[in-house]
Structure 1
Amino acid sequence: MPTASSVVQERLKNLEQHLERENPILIRAIKSFRELDQVAYDMHLLDADQTYADQIPWWPLIAILGTFSAGKSTFINHYLGQTLQRTGNHAVDERFTVICFSEAGTGQALPGVALDSDPRFPLYHISESIDEVAAGEGKRTDAYIQLRTCASERLRGRIIVDSPGFDADAQRTATLRIVDHIIDLSDLVLVFFDARHPEPGAMRDTLKHLVAETIRRPDSGKFLYILNQIDATAREDNPEDVIAAWQRALGEHGLTAGRFYTIYSPDVAVPIEDINVRRRFETKRDRDLLDIHERMQKVEIERAYRIIGSIEKTAIGIADEAAPLLSEGLRRWRTRVLAIDAVIFGILLAAFMGWSLAAGHWNGLSYEPAWLATVASVENGLQALIIALVAIIAAIHFKVRSLSAKAVLPWLRQRVQADGIRGRVVEAFLANTRPLRSALIAKPRGWHSVNQMRIKQVKLDCDGYVQTLNDQFTNPSGAATRPRIDQPTESVA
């Protein structure tokens, strides 16, 4: 029976074989993931059957977010050139749909478990996140996610995630958790709004989550904000007022820079009788659609940088977040253990001395303590007393260690959640407080000089990966053109 570690290594080997045909730079990235995994195993931040490489999708990922009836599915169908997603003015599907390429001419719809159990796709183990916000709902993954296949060439080598709208209250908390997870994984995020509802002020909660909470992200450049179905405003006296109202609403939530697109689908467009108005609308639509489609087609570039960024972020997370937090947690635990030990043993020692003196007696000119008489009356009395005292002290000490660890856990969990620290930090802390580990050791388990050097080397390697990627897309010297990322290249050993 294969071990958990061998299963992980087999998954990484299969991933390397896939990347060998696509981009050798990312093969080298697998080596960095292996280094990070080893550090995490030593520190108990990962289980033996886990790898950081499973926490990101290795295919370019495009997320389609927005309100109900904002035309997300119609946009996807037009982009793919196939009627894959159902469309309508009302919610037609309250599930997240992961769409990927398949050679089969007929698309297939697969249940949520196909995503929840496959580490190659986004939403791997998403049932655990759903359970955290809605106990028991993790068993109903089919109610939240599904996988669909499509033979469109535009989908080859990339994945699209179509989300349900944001306006429903049902399952809202779990839905937002999945949205946040998808946003973190995505290389490009298209945020759709419906131009047919020109009162954006009534959607402040939606705008807050889709705009205000995303523009401050370090990867905010991957968000495109799209006012869709703008053709519905063509008969307005001044359609520009609709656009201005949305721009003001987005501006109130902090979006004052970046590209704001206005489009509509040519497949289901509202007839525009005025030829001049129609020409103006079509020109703007075609220009914006071209820009959006080009970003979607070149998403593999963002994917390569995203994976390297994930490696560096993980390394920083271990060195600058997890390790210091573990050290602080252990310091609090150690201080508590030693203080309580000192108080308890001080009280016991004082009680013992008081009893010994009170129960002792004078033997001639000398005073004989009670414990000495007890020891003398028992065969091998001193040895028995020492064994008994050691057993009592050990039992008390280990109980104090356990209770002290439990007392520190609420603070640790709060810090992990507040700081957004990834990894099994709580489990790593408990591993450091096990009985056979001394409370006097200051550093967390596994955070020794060898692993610290591993982290430093991974960070340096990331800089080298970025430089290599830059060389594929930039050429300031004007030297001979280098092979592009999407061209076959020789495998890197």
Structure 2
Amino acid sequence: MAEKTVSKHLINLEKQFAPSNPVLQKAAKVFHELDQLEYDMGLIEQEETTARKSSWWPIISTLGGHSSAKNDFINRYLGTQLHSTSHKFTVHQYTHQSTSATLPGTALDADHRLPFYQISRSIEQIAKGEGDKINAYLELLTVNSEKLRGKLLIDTPVLSGSSANKVNALLNRHVIDMSDLVLVFCDLFDAESELIDDTIKTIIEYQDSNKFLFIIDHSEISLEPRKINEIIISWQRRLTELGINTGQFVVLTDSGDTSMIDLRIENLDNDRSYRVLSTLEKSIRHIDDVIIPEVENALTLWKDRANTSILIVLGFLVSLVLFAEISIGVLDLFFDPIIGPIILLILIAILTPLHLIISRIHAKLIVNKLHERQKRLNLTENLAGLFEKSLTFWRILLPIKDPVGKNKKTRNHLTQLIEQSKDLVQTLNDQFSHYQTDDLSSYTSPANSNDSIQ
């Protein structure tokens, strides 16, 4: 078993979280154990890591309609006057420089530390040729605002007829999936139904994640608490009719009170930690639930095709023997104590390399299918790598259809990794409260950390 070097990404993560977040520092170590297992199975290369599946930044995102409520809130909250492009997904990142800079979408697509890493591959999968046009969909905006230090804010484009396409639907779903907090401005639901159907479906799918905060903008007027409560109840009824049953509501008034939003944002470090640990457990379970079954199916198909081909060859040879028997009589030679074994050895010497050649040809065809399957499932693991590692000499000759790694040892290792990830969740829970013999201790909030992704 070759030892896999720790990726630079994981080394930087461990250094980053060592002083501020020991849970995520330990999570980085578990990710490396998972990397070693996947490396042994041929699923990843030396410098790759499964930790790149999730952004380690705390992420806020915004969804809104045609009104200026969303952009006004962002400028007011960050204390800046930004002019982000309304038709692109804009990632706002902190900078210590006094002036903002707008970077192209390729900066996000190429940087594994940021949340749109290699998103062009997914875009290309659903819309041929659009993967090369990443700059038309994404941009990175650096902002000098302390509110952004250690976190990212993703502003989604305003929905319109021109933006209602497969790519924007994919990016919207991607943003909601990876966000720790989604600020949904309720003017979104005033748009035409065909423009927001996909967004509503995604919100419904993720509504139990407790990441949605619905914002009703009345920042131009003053409202009494009773009226605010009536507005919230009215919106709750309206969203329930759409199938959205959970989520907090905030009414913005001329008082400028954003305390509930501030409280949610202050808790982003914890939300991010739970999200990363969830990604870790999913990645572990994916090996047994998705990756091994996919490769096992490919190996079964490959074995069936190779065996069928060699049976056709054998059928052809049997036909030749029967023809020779009818013509000149050769079957007696097969039962000769000296010539018979020699003929058998010659047949084995011919059929064994022929079987290997035929198997390799079919394997190449299966590898191409696995590459397509990997893209369709949006997997970072190399399915073809595990498949090819399972094509050893004896595995080709013998009726073995299980991929490398499908054994009790690997399953026990995966179980241990899952238990480690659960222990980290428990440790994270214990930062808030822990059980004592007599009673529950008082709430203890973990220290907030200012992240700086290396």
Please tell me the TM-score bracket, short chain as reference.
0.7 to 0.9
Which letter does structure 2 place at the counterpart of 1:308? L
Distance 2:147 2:135 in 1: 27
Percent identity reads: 30
| Unaligned residue ranges in structure 2 (runs of 5+) | none
1:256 aligns with 2:245: yes
Larger radius of gyration: 1
Alignment counterpart, residue 273 of structure 2, candidates 304, 329, 338: 304
Is the contact between residue 329 and residue 429 of structure 1 (CA under 8 Å) also seen in structure 2? no
TM-score (normalised: structure 1): 0.76
Please name the residue that 1:132 is paired with. 125
**Would you say how many aligned residue pairs link Structure 1 and Structure 2?**
438
Please name the residue that 1:78 is paired with. 76
Please name the residue that 1:484 is paired with. 446
Alignment counterpart, residue 291 of structure 1, candidates 257, 260, 263: 260
For residues 271-316 of structure 1, the C-alpha deviation after alignment (integer angstroms, 9 at most, x for no partner) is xxxxxxxxxx547x73xx3212211222111011111111111111
1:455 aligns with 2:394: no
TM-score (normalised: structure 2): 0.82
Give the drift of 1:158. Answer: 0.9
Alignment counterpart, residue 472 of structure 1, candidates 431, 436, 445: 431
Please name the residue that 2:199 is paired with. 210
- Cα distance 1:248–1:190, how it changes in 2: closer, same or farther (>3 A)? same
Q: State the secondary structure of the residue aligned to 2:170.
A: helix
Please name the residue that 1:348 is paired with. 316
Q: State the secondary structure of the residue aligned to 1:123.
A: coil
Q: State the secondary structure of the residue aligned to 2:291.
A: helix
1:163 aligns with 2:131: no
Q: State the secondary structure of the residue aligned to 2:204.
A: coil
1:424 aligns with 2:381: yes
Is the contact between residue 66 and residue 159 of structure 2 (CA under 8 Å) also seen in structure 1? yes
Give the drift of 1:320. Answer: 2.3
Please name the residue that 2:98 is paired with. 105
Give the drift of 1:414. Answer: 6.6
Distance 2:359 2:113 in 1: 44
Please name the residue that 2:57 is paired with. 59
Give the drift of 1:114. Answer: 2.0
Distance 1:24 1:158 in 2: 18
Spell out the pairing of 1:147-158 with structure 2 (5 A cutoff). Answer: 147-158=140-151
Spell out the pairing of 1:78-97 with structure 2 (5 A cutoff). Answer: 78-86=76-84, 92-97=85-90
Please name the residue that 1:220 is paired with. 209
- Cα distance 1:290–1:246, how it changes in 2: closer, same or farther (>3 A)? same
Give the drift of 1:29. Answer: 0.6
Distance 2:369 2:222 in 1: 54
Q: State the secondary structure of the residue aligned to 1:191.
A: strand
Distance 2:445 2:366 in 1: 57
Is the contact between residue 190 and residue 226 of structure 1 (CA under 8 Å) also seen in structure 2? yes
Distance 1:457 1:172 in 2: 43
Give the drift of 1:386. Answer: 4.9
- Cα distance 1:360–1:96, how it changes in 2: closer, same or farther (>3 A)? same
| Unaligned residue ranges in structure 1 (runs of 5+) | 87-91, 264-280, 489-493
Distance 2:428 2:417 in 1: 16
Q: State the secondary structure of the residue aligned to 1:168.
A: coil
Q: CA RMSD in A?
A: 3.9
Distance 2:270 2:194 in 1: 33
Give the drift of 1:355. Answer: 2.3
1:36 aligns with 2:19: no
For residues 332-380 of structure 1, the C-alpha deviation after alignment (integer angstroms, 9 at most, x for no partner) is 43344435534x2541342132023123259xxxx865999xx99xxxx
